[in-house]
Amino acid sequence: MDFPILAVLAATFTIATPLVWAGLGAVINERAGILNLGIEGIMYAGAFVGFLTAASTGSLALGLTAAIVAGLAAGALMGLLTVTLGVNQHVAGIGTTLLLIAASEFTNRLLFSSGSQTITVKFDRILSGFFAQYPMTYVAFLLLAPALWWLLRSSGFGLRLRAVGENPEAADAAGIPVARTRYAALMLGSALMAVGGAFLTLSLLGSFTLDIVGGRGWICIALVIFGRWRVWPVVAGALLFGFTDALQLQLAITPFFSAVPNELMIAFPYLVVIAALAIWGRGVRYPGAYLTPYRRA
């Protein structure tokens, strides 16, 4: 049997791209002590706002910028809820997700009567063969991941961010502005999540459809635990998911597997994530101040 292994590997990187953007955004949030369950909604908002702006202006750059601005705004909202008001992070995050998905859907229905919209402009793949990937894929793996790895490890901002996520009392005593640092982390992380969402509309599909994010945000939450809040393991986790998804897509059209129900094939990558978490996600050590709002004694 002639199996197109290179095509599967190329698809792996494409599928992993939004997970890398959003997953690393979640790493930035959680290392600062905040579980951002708004991720699914923020990706959705990024996908929709990016699409809407690109569709109405004809500019992909403006579309991407608009998605980033939407992400920053969503991060500020999460900051208001979890940092300033000290709301339970699960509630704030799920509320944000529900709000952003509903707002995107609502606006979409108001503007366009039908569910699915296509734009005329769309990022094209660059290079060819195995290397034929979208620009945002190259940015994710070659620029974003190394930059965030460096940021967390060797920059003052990264040191501050880890300190407020591990022990905000100690950070405060050291003169680090805890609330401001957490806001910054939330806004940066949420902007990355929104870019991950915008990848779906502006690069992958060139259209906006209902349920476009399809649980990728939740997958990222799992990936971050799987990768133990570190940049490269999270990237590896995204690739693992991307690979299993690419594999099932390929197998679904391979005659040998035609007897396997399609639903089972689609569920396969998610089962792998659950299995991976069950094996490697146990006994992990969460950031010290995870889920905990900081108030001066």
- Cβ–Cβ under 8 Å, residues 49 and 244: no
Tokens (6 digits) for 113: 């009567």
| 104: nearest Cα among 112, 162, 257 | 112
- Cα separation of 110 and 95, whole Å? 22
Question: Counting contacts by CB under 8 A, is residue 170 touching other proteins?
Answer: yes
Question: Counting contacts by CB under 8 A, is residue 228 touching other proteins?
Answer: no
Q: Supply the minimum distance, in Å, between the C-beta of residue 249 and other proteins.
A: 39
The residue from 107, 167, 209, 292 that contacts other proteins (CB under 8 A) is 167
117 by DSSP, 3-state: which?
Answer: strand
Tokens (6 digits) for 32: 């600062």
Exposed/middle/buried for residue 71 (C-beta within 10 Å: 0-12, 13-18, 19+): buried
Looking at 33-41, 60-68, 160-168, 233-241, which segment touches other proteins (CB under 8 A)? 160-168
Looking at 58-66, 100-108, 169-177, 198-206, which segment touches other proteins (CB under 8 A)? 169-177
Q: Which x/- pattern, by CB under 8 A, does the window 127-156 give for other proteins?
A: ---------------------------xxx
Question: Counting contacts by CB under 8 A, is residue 113 touching other proteins?
Answer: no
Q: Supply the minimum distance, in Å, between the C-beta of residue 297 and other proteins.
A: 8
Residue nearer to other proteins on the CB measure, 1 or 173: 173
Residue nearer to other proteins on the CB measure, 111 or 174: 174
- Cα separation of 73 and 166, whole Å? 25
257 DSSP assignment: G
- Cα separation of 294 and 297, whole Å? 9
Tokens (6 digits) for 74: 């969503």
Question: Counting contacts by CB under 8 A, is residue 176 touching other proteins?
Answer: yes
Residues that bind other proteins (CB under 8 A): 154-157, 159-160, 162-163, 166-167, 169-176, 288
